[in-house]
Each structure stands twice: as structure tokens, then as C-alpha cells.
Amino acid sequence: MSETKKTYWKGLAQLKNDPNYVKHADKEFVDLAVAEDPGHSRRDFLKMMGFSVAAASLAACEAPIRKAIPYVMKPVDADPGIPNYYASSYVNGGDYCSIVVKVRDGRPIKIEGNSLSSVTLGGTSAQVEASVLSLYDNYRLRGPKKGETSTDWETIDKEITTKLAEIAGKGGAIRIVSNTVLSPSTLATIAKFKEKYPTTEHIQYDQVSAYGILKANEESFGASIIPSYDFSKAKTIVSINADFLGTWISPIEFTKQYAITREVSEDRREMSRHFQFESNLSLTGANADYRTPIRPSQEGLVVVQLYNLIAAKAGKGNLSASIDKVEHLEKAANELWENKGSSLVVSGSNDKAVQVVVNAINELLGNYGVTINRELPVNFRKGNDEAMLAFVNEAKEGKIGGVIFYNCNPVYDHPMGEELGAALKNIALSVSTSYTPDETASASAYMAPDHHYLESWNDFEPKENTFSLSQPAISPIFKTRQAQESFSIWAGGSNEDYFSVVQANWKNWFYDKKDGLDFQAFWDKALYDGVFTAPSEEIKISAFAANLEAAASSISSNYKASSNSDELVIFEGYGVGNGSQANNPLLQELPDPITKAVWDHYVTISQKDAKKWGITNDAEGFTQHLTLTVKNKSITLPALIQPGQAEGTLGVALGYGRTKVGAVAENIGVNVYPLVSLLNGSLNYSASEVKVEKASKEFQLAQTQIHQTYMGRESVIQEATLAEFKENPKAGRDEPKITQWDDHVDASSLSLWKGYDYNNHHWGMAIDLNTCTGCGSCVVACNVENNVAIVGKDEVVRRREMHWLRIDRYYSSPEGTAINDYDGLEKAAENPEVTFQPMLCQHCNNASCETVCPVAATTHSTEGLNQMTYNRCIGTRYCANNCPYKVRRFNWFKYHDNQKFYQSNPAMNTDLGRMVLNPEVTVRSRGVMEKCSFCVQRIQAGKLNAKRERRPVKDGEVVTACQASCTSGAIVFGDMNNPESRISKLLKIDNTKVIKKEDGTEETVFNYSFDKKIGNPRAYRVLEEVGVKPNIFYLTKIRNKDKAKENA
């Protein structure tokens, strides 16, 4: 069979043997679309669209994850919701306070004074109270840095150690620069460092130096010390430019002592008399009985004149410098002499010569051993101005090999800071241990951040043989390291933690087996108490021996009795202080006790000079700038007209003009440290020959109080002189009467309301206007305790600060102003008397706010509290309008989680800052009213505690935040239904009433009525005539003056 050779083609393509066909010949079905690529198919499109829609919606729906992780193993002392308290110490340079830290859920949220301390005696200050927020400062360094780049500890340790060894090997000078170091263990660590690198020198300096006192005491007594002062024993106090209640040496301690001498009652009709000679109106001057404005250039001469007046009485010779009559000086001298041995003369001067003469005055008066204790020197200011200047000069000359700045910021806060900053570039090794990248840290090559003090272990010796500990209240938030450990590592030592070092030191230094305690028990007690006093050794102080004539001639050449030039006075403010805590909004928004200005840097000028320079301050803080030129350095600042400012002087505060500081304090004011000069080897915080020019720029200052006088309203401020008070304890009381058709009756006796009883507690408060110094620590304490929003300058200018507690400061009007001369009363006197009045919700029993709220959001409790229900508030503001005390605060905006308030209110707008908020107090939303609650969360905690222990609440168990922070003890809070409570005793409340029974007999029963009979003749309710019957009583202000309304 022949094979058929027939071929069947699939098509023409096969016949032609088309390469395109051959390529796909093995496929059964020809893919017709091979030649054309359609790109993305419809299905792709659908897939992609589906994916994107799903992805977009998933991304949009994603809820922020907030992790709340329960403890697997609960730490022993941490109970959620229950605060722990740790004794510790606040130290900032040489400023010291023994404190108790309140820790909730591992976060420090509040600081209070430690009453076991023999130094600060349980007091605090605004800066101490505010420092808890600095822990959560967003500007803090997150870890070590080399220049601008973050690195780790191993790297910088290696580099620093190598460089130190190199420098030491070449014999180059190494310097450790710090502020006053109070810590003995730190000094021991530095000493070890010095052993390793023998070319090391430790230089201490202070932003506001007291080197003049150290030198004067060395000359007078052979010991370079600052003695302890005891104002509580002084019957006559004379202060020449020493702001001892505000900033000088140890203000917390002095405030405590001073308050003791200012407390008067029916039974104790005596108080100290305080003379103040100063240029700026300081907090201390505002509290003085007699105040004389002097120029800084007269300061030395005033001191010499005082010496001469007293020496004349003591039968000693005159010194050769003199000044004409200084108002009140002779009177002061007479009274000092009368109260020999129980008087005190202090001077804020940093001039050795002046301090020598002050020493001589106190010696003549026999004050040593009584009001001044040389045997118990204090360590708050150990800075050596000369050594520091020498260091800066060496640095400039390139003689320094390496420098470590231990928690100090001289580039900002030293007069030659700018030159130092420039010189640092040429120094082989520069390290800063500051916890923020401040001016000095930024100028240094390495940043090796220390812990915040609330994260660290340390020990301190504020006074000779008086010690205290600080312990961490939180584990370090960032990768910071205790500076002492850094020193130890750089010195090649072991990286033993500093806690063990401190403990070991204490074992060596203080542990005394004789007590029978084992060391652990001794240590635990010291740590629990936070303070420890070592047995003191006898200190030998030689008798007073100084060349007074030399001092006097130095004074007569440096000071002038009169001058035509304008003079600058540089001082430390009460809010941001020396500037180290400038980035703390609590302090920026703390009204200056005197000027009531916030967020601003300004120059204070006298009323007369204001006229001369054409400066006008209107009621809303609009002002003009002044340019001050001191030795070719100029600064331009807005001017604030300050009653009481000495004519021809200008006051400017330190602490502003920080450049590397964080969002809060950026661009506020100018740095005036460069204007500080040198006099007799120490820093001089004044300058003469100041050229003043008005600059054209307008400015608006933010002040929380824009009306300065109390307009003669005696139902607001009730005051008397001591002489009047001695005659009549009711002196100064204004008891408003109401005229009925036939009679005059007490305003308080008439009411539309029926009255009611408080059958359980009846909370009340008494505020002593005489012991209140106006310092403002209560304001900060209240802000921290109650999560009060900080609103920033713009909102303060709109008069919307949120403070629940404010301190009203009133100046007296010019002498002889008639009570109906309203325009006259509006003006403050040239050198006014000053009154401070803390003002907070008065918790009225017939509260005018409660009746007007349409939704009953503010109501009265059964314990006398006027309470605010935020949830219920709809924000009509009627309550605030109808409040005679204007203490209610409205949330005009959302102050939390709002970028608009990021800069001013980090505590509510940053994750870090929020950690400071008190979980027991609601953060208020926008549109609701808020106000003082008498710290109702503390009342509740106290009551619950008592209930758990099945007992009544004890007096003193419930303490409001303001009361706790009040160093002078002016605020007393308690249960007025408890006859044994401090407030009942202070107000002399008569808790009984007589009722008539049906059978005609009378019976005395306990009086639970809201309207208690108050027996203290000094106690008054502000605006008694309105009839709202507050639960807060004020005690009259008593001035120790010879006659009323005498010019201060």
C-alpha cells in the first residue's frame, strides 16, 4: 500500500511556515491576542480599585491604640489609684527644699514640703511646686548626644575618657564647672575624678552670687561662710536690699521664720517691725512696715550711716562715709538699739565692704548667737565669682584642655557667657550634663544628660551637719544617666550605680553603731524621713575683727549720696527666677507677686521717671519700650510703671532671653546677665550711668490684675496699725450696717434666706492677711493639684487666665485721698503700702451663683462646699457674672488636645506633659465653668480613709493644696463643726446655741447652723454686705506702724 503523502495544513500560516506560527505551534489553541498587549485588564482595575478602597477605608477607620497593660506581677508598693509619697529633696543650683513627692501609678504628680526638715520646715516655693512639670518637659534630652547627633553612652564614654586621658597626659587643665554643689557624695565623686586627673579643678559659681558675704565673713570671722539667720527671734528687722522673703539665700526658711513674728491675735498683740531700704519694690519690701526707696548707689552709704547711728549709741567712733538724712533710718537705728540682741540687719549687697559693715552692725547689736548663727553655716551659695571669672579668661586664652559643665548653664547665666560660648569651640573637650540642650550644652561638644532630680539618687547638706536625701520617684523616662555615674565612669572607675555610692558614703560618714540600729534600719529611716541631722562638732569662730575703716573708704569711693544719672537694678524674679526653669509654663504664667505681669520681661520704672520719659501705661498694659544702655551694651524692653520704685532707678529681672530653652520660653525678653558687672571682686547686680531712651515700639503687657488699688473699699481690705490693734482687737474692722426705717442693723443679720444646718462636717477656711507674704506658691500648687489650664500670653491679655486661686495685690492710694474721689483713688501712691489678698471661691452659704444656674450645675453640698458639676454645665456664664468675687473661670476654648495651646499648655497637649495631670481631677472640656473646689478630691480621700478605719475625720487629715504649699501658714482649712479643729480655735467659733423648749426652759445645744458665731475679732468675710455668707474668713491686716496710713 503506497503511503499517501497528503499533508493537511491547519491553515495558511502553517503552509507558509510563518515564524509567528512556529513559535506557538505546540499550542492546541492559537492565542489570538498574543501580538497585542492590553496592559492592565479590567480585572486588574477592579482588583486595584477594590484594594485601594479597602486600604483607604481601613486606614481611615484605624482607631488609635491606647495600651493599658495590667500588671502581671504587681510591684509591692504600687496600687493603682492609690498615691505613694516619697521624701526627697528639690535642688536647683544652690536653691534647696526638702520635699515629699506624691506619686500616682508611677508618676510624680505633686510636690509638697517636708515638715521634718529643720531647714525648710515644710515650706515650699512656687519654683519647687512647679518643678514637677519640668520632669515632663518636652525639651529634655532623650539620651546622650555628640554635637547635634544622638549617640549612645558607650560611644561618648569612650571618646570622653580617651580625650580626658590625652589632656591629662599632656598636663592640660581640666575644669568641672557647676553651680553651688550641696551634695557631699557628689563632691566626693568629683574628688575621685580629681584624683584620676590631677589637673582638674572644680569651680562653683552662682547665678545670683553671695560671694560678697562669704568674703566679708572670712574677713570678719576668718571663715568663708554664710551663717544661719533666724528671723523668728527678731523684733526689729532691717533689710537693705535683701529680698529675704523672695529670693535671698534661703527664702522658704526665712518666710517661715518671718511669719512667726507677724502673727498677731487678741492674746498676742505684738509683732516684729520691719524696715526695708531698697530700689525695686520687692516682695519683702511689700511686706515691710516702713519702706524707703533708695538708689543702689546709696546702698553702701545707708549701711554706713546705720552703723554710725548705732555706733553713736554704743559709744563707738563714726565711720568716714556718710549720707544725708535717709527717711526712717534714724527710727530704724533707734529701734534696733532698743531691741539689742533680738534684732537683725541684713543686706542683699554682694559687695564685701558693705557686708563687713553689716557684720559690724550686727556685732554691735549683739545679734550673733541669737538671730545670726555662725556656728550653723549654710551651703546655699558657695560660688566663687573670682574663680569663675578666672576660668572664663583662661578658656578665652585657650589654657583649658577640657571642661565639664555639671548641671549649669554659664553660657547663658554668666556675665561673660557669650565669650565663654565662643571659647568652647577651641577647647579640646567640652561636656555638659544638663538635662536639656540648653545654651551651654548646645555650645559643648558632648551632651551627657543627667536625670531630672525626681529621677535621681543624691544626698545634700544644705546646712552644716544637716543632711537630706533625694530618691527617684519615677524610673528614668529617657536614656539619661546620673551625672555622678558619668564622672565615675570617665574617671575610669567602675560603673557602680550612684545609689550604692551614696549608701556606702552614708554608712561611712553617719552610721553610728552606738544607736543599736543596723545600717539598713538607719538608712530606711533616713530615706523615709528624707532628712538626717548628724551630731555637730564644735566649730571655732574667731571674734569679729575686720578693718572697718578700709571698708568705709571703699564704700565712700564706690557709692554716692546723690546722683543725677539713672541706675539699673538687676534682680531675680519670683516666677522663672534665675532662668533655669524658664521653660516651665506654670512659672511663666505665675503672676509676679508685685506687678501681676505674666509671660513678659519688662523694666520697672518709677512714676516720676515715667513722666520724664513720656511713658504711659494704660489700664490694659499698653506701654512703650525703653532702650537702656550700660557701657555700650543696650537692651530694649517694655516699661512698666512701678509704684514704690526708687526714682532714677530701673529694675530688670534675670531669667529671660533664653535662646536654647524649648517652646514655652522662646522669644521672651532679653538676657541681662551680660549687664552684671564686677565690684570688689564679686558680681554687682546694679549699674549706674545708664542711658535711657524711649523707643518708639508699642507693647502690651499681660497682667492678671489691671486695677491697682482697692478704691478705699473697706469691706474688701480691712487693716489697722498695731497701735490701734493693741487698743482694740477689732481695729480696722468694717462692719457694714443696713438702714431700716427705724434702725441701723448689721448687714449680716438680714437675709431673705431661712438658713440651714450642716449636720456633719462644715468645711471652712481662714486666711491671715498678716502672715500671707503674697509669694504665689499656693497659686502654682493649686494649678498642679487641680489640672488648671495654662492659657498663654494672648489669652491673659484677654483677661482669661484660669487660676482658681489668685492673689489680689492692692496698692494704697496717695495719702489723704478722699473716699469719694474715685479718680484719685484709682492711682497708686508714689511709695505705696501693699496688701495681698488670696482670693478663691468663697464657698458662700447663700451662694449667688447657685440660684442663677438654669440647669443646677452648681449646687451646695451638705458640708458647706459650693460644688461645680462639670458634666451638667452648659456654659451660660450667669454664675460667673453673678459672683461678687469673680473667682469663676470659663473654658473659653478647648485647652487640652488643641495645637493652639501646645506652646503654653504642654501639660495637656503633649504625651509627655500629660503624665503630670492629677487623675483625681477631671480635665475640663470647653464651654464649662470651673472654680476652686476646696480640693474636694482631698476631702473625699480623707473621709474615705477615716471611714475605712471607722473613725471620724481628724483635724489636719484633710489639707488643701494651697494650705499645704503655704510656707507662712496663712491658710488654715478645716471642719468648723469640730470644736477641736485648728480653724474652730483660730476663729474662736462658738459652737453652742440656746434653744427654748416647750416647757419654757432653755437648753444649750450644739450649733450646726451654717452661720457660726465667730469670736475672733480680726475675722471678717469679704463683702459682708452682699449677704452671701462665705465659708472663708480673712483676718485683718495689721501693720506695725506708729500711725495709720503713714507713708510706707
Partner 1 sequence: MQATSTIREPLITGGKTVRDVSEDISRQVEGKPTSLWWIAMVVSLVLLFWGFYCLCYQQWNGVGVWGLNKTVGWAWDITNFVWWVGIGHAGTLISAILLLFRQRWRMSINRAAEAMTIFAVICAATFPFVHMGRLWLGFYWVFPLPNTWGSLWANFNSPLLWDVFAISTYFTVSLVFWYMGLIPDFAVIRDRAVRMGHKTRALVYNALSFGWDGAARTWSRYESVALILAGLSTPLVLSVHTIVSMDFATSVIPGWHTTIFPPYFVAGAIFSGFAMVLTLLLITRKMFRLEDYITIYHIELMNIIIIITGSIVGIAYITEFFVAWYGQVPAEYYAFYNRATGPYWWAYWSMMTCNVISPQLFWFKKIRTNLVATFVLSIIVNIGMWFERFVIIVTSLHRDYLPSSWSMFHATIYDVGEYVFTFGFFFAAFLLFAKYFPVINMAEVKSIVKSTSEKKH
Coil/strand/helix, residue 409:
coil
Q: Spell out the alpha helix ranges (H) of 953-1011.
A: 961-965, 982-987
Q: From the CA atom positions of the chain, what is the Rg in Å?
A: 35
Neighbours of 42 (CB within 10 A): 8
When the beta carbons of 192 and 877 are compared against partner 1, the nearer one is: 877
Least distance (Å) from partner 1 to the CB of residue 822? Answer: 6
* Options 678, 856, 1005, 1044; binder of partner 1; rule CB under 8 A: 856
* 1028 near partner 1, rule: CB under 8 A: yes
Q: Cell digits for 310?
A: 548705732
Three-state DSSP class for residue 121: coil
* DSSP type of residue 672: -
CA distance linking residue 273 with residue 593, whole number of Å: 22
Shortest separation between residue 701's beta carbon and partner 1, angstroms: 14
Size of the site for partner 1 (CB under 8 A): 60
Among 54, 545, 678, 874, binds partner 1 (CB under 8 A): 874
Is 860 a binding residue for partner 1 by CB under 8 A? The answer is no
* Distance separating alpha carbons of residues 168 and 162, to the nearest angstrom: 10
Stretch that binds partner 1, among 40-48, 559-567, 721-729, 892-900 (CB under 8 A): 892-900
**Contact region for partner 1 (CB under 8 A) — 313-321, 661-669, 796-804, 987-995?**
796-804
318, 533, 563, 848: which one binds partner 1 (CB under 8 A)? 848
Site membership for partner 1, residue 795 (CB under 8 A): yes
Among 422, 619, 678, 750, interactor with partner 1 by CB under 8 A: 619
Q: Considering only CA atoms, which of 438, 856, 836 is closest in space to residue 660?
A: 438
| Contact flag: residue 541 with partner 1 (CB under 8 A) | no
Pick the piece of the chain touching partner 1 (CB under 8 A) from 157-165, 463-471, 719-727, 799-807. Answer: 799-807
**Nearest partner of 133 among 924, 913, 896, 920, judged by Cα:** 913
Q: Which region among 59-67, 190-198, 635-643, 848-856 touches partner 1 (by CB under 8 A)?
A: 848-856
Measured CA to CA in angstroms, residue 267 lies from 263, 342, 767, 989 at distances of 11, 21, 18, 16
Q: How far, CA to CA in Å, does 385 sit from each of 389, 547, 680?
A: 6, 22, 11
> Shortest Cβ distance from residue 806 to partner 1 (Å)?
8
Contacts of 154 (CB under 8 A, 6+ apart): none
Give the dihedral sign, CA 640/646/647/649: negative
Q: Which of 927, 945, 991, 1008 binds partner 1 (CB under 8 A)?
A: 927
Q: Does 904 interact with partner 1 (rule: CB under 8 A)?
A: no
CB atoms within 10 A of CB 71: 9
Interface with partner 1, residue 1037, by CB under 8 A? no
Q: How far is the CB of 886 from partner 1 (least distance, A)?
A: 4
Contact pattern for partner 1 over residues 753 through 792, marking x by CB under 8 A = ----------------------------------------
Shortest CB 898 distance to partner 1, Å? 9
Smallest distance, partner 1 to C-beta of residue 939, A: 22
DSSP tag of 3: P
Q: Does 806 bind partner 1 (CB under 8 A)?
A: yes
Which region among 14-22, 290-298, 435-443, 1024-1032 touches partner 1 (by CB under 8 A)? Answer: 1024-1032
Under rule CB under 8 A, residue 737 binds partner 1? no
- Of residues 994 through 1023, those in contact with partner 1 by CB under 8 A are 1022-1023
Answer for the pair 180, 174: CB distance below 8 angstroms, yes or no: no
Q: Are the CB atoms for 841 and 866 separated by under 8 Å?
A: yes
Residue type, position 17, single letter = N
DSSP 56: H
In degrees and rounded to multiples of 5, residue 538 shows phi and psi of -65, 125
Q: Measuring CA to CA, which residue among 912, 417, 452, 894 is closest to residue 663?
A: 912
CA pair distance 957, 940, nearest whole angstrom: 11
**Per-residue binder mask for partner 1 (CB under 8 A), 825-844, x = binder:** ------------x-x-----
Stretch touching partner 1 by CB under 8 A, among 53-61, 442-450, 567-575, 805-813: 805-813
Q: Is 560 in the site for partner 1 (CB under 8 A)?
A: no
State yes or no: residue 21 binds partner 1 (CB under 8 A). no
Pairing type for strands 290-293 and 343-347 reads: unpaired
Tell me the three state secondary structure of residue 720.
Answer: strand
From 110-118, 359-367, 718-726, 852-860, give the range in contact with partner 1 by CB under 8 A.
Answer: 852-860
Window contacting partner 1 (CB under 8 A); options: 284-292, 631-639, 690-698, 925-933: 925-933
Placement of cell 470647653 in the chain = 926
CB of 747 to partner 1, least distance (A): 10
| β strands within 572-648, DSSP E | 597-598, 603-605, 622-630, 633-641
Question: Which 142-201 residues touch partner 1, going by CB under 8 A?
Answer: none
Backbone angles phi, psi at 459, to 5 degrees: -130, 155
- Examine residue 478 and tell whether it contacts partner 1 (CB under 8 A): no
Instruction: Note whether 824 binds partner 1 by CB under 8 A.
Output: no
User: Can you tell me which of 886, 1015, 1042, 1044 binds partner 1, judged by CB under 8 A?
Assistant: 886
List, in order, residues 6 or more apart from 514 with CB less than 8 Å away.
Answer: none
For the record, the C-alpha cell of 459 comes out as 544626698
Q: Which three cell numbers stand for residue 70?
A: 495590667
Report the residue number, 215 or 806, with the smaller CB distance to partner 1.
806
Q: Which of 397, 620, 727, 990 binds partner 1 (CB under 8 A)?
A: 620
Q: Which residues contact 594 (CB under 8 A, 6 or more apart)?
A: 281, 282, 283, 286, 642, 774, 809, 834
Rounded Cα gap, residues 1039 and 685, in angstroms: 31
Nearer to partner 1, 216 or 887 (CB): 887
Task: Give every CB contact of residue 1012 below 8 A, 6+ residues apart in sequence.
Answer: 762, 976, 987, 989, 990, 991
Chain Cα centroid distance, residue 953: 32
By the rule CB under 8 A, 701 interacts with partner 1: no
Task: Build a one-symbol-per-residue string for 706-735: x at contacts with partner 1 by CB under 8 A, - elsewhere.
Answer: xx-xxx-x-xx-------------------
Tell me the residue ranges of DSSP E strands in 317-399. 343-347, 372-378
Q: Is the dihedral of CA 888, 836, 776, 1014 positive or negative?
A: negative
Report, in Å, the least distance between residue 1027 CB and partner 1.
Answer: 8
Q: Look up residue 757 and give its DSSP letter.
A: B
Q: Of 939, 966, 969, give the one whose Cα is nearest residue 954.
A: 939
Return the number of the residue (234 or 1022) whose C-beta is nearest partner 1.
Answer: 1022
Query: CB of residue 270 vs partner 1: minimum separation in angstroms?
Result: 31
Which residue in the set 97, 424, 765, 853 belongs to the binding site for partner 1 (CB under 8 A)? 853
Minimum distance, C-beta of residue 303 to partner 1, in the bound complex (Å): 37
* Residue 700 engages partner 1 in binding (rule: CB under 8 A): no
Q: Is 800 in the site for partner 1 (CB under 8 A)?
A: yes
Pick 435 or 901: Cβ nearer partner 1 = 901
Q: How far is the CB of 1012 from partner 1 (least distance, A)?
A: 22
Q: Which is nearer to partner 1, 328 or 889 (CB)?
A: 889
Candidate residues 884, 914, 922, 1045; the one interacting with partner 1 per rule CB under 8 A: 884
Question: In the complex, what is the shortest distance from the CB of residue 960 to partner 1, in angstroms, rounded to a whole number?
Answer: 21
Pairing status of strand 649-653 against strand 566-571: parallel
Residue 878 contacts partner 1 per CB under 8 A: yes
Provide the binding-site residues for partner 1, judged by CB under 8 A: 619-620, 705-707, 709-711, 713, 715-716, 795, 798-801, 806, 808-810, 822, 837, 839, 848, 851-856, 872-878, 880-882, 884-886, 888-894, 925-929, 1022-1023, 1025-1026, 1028
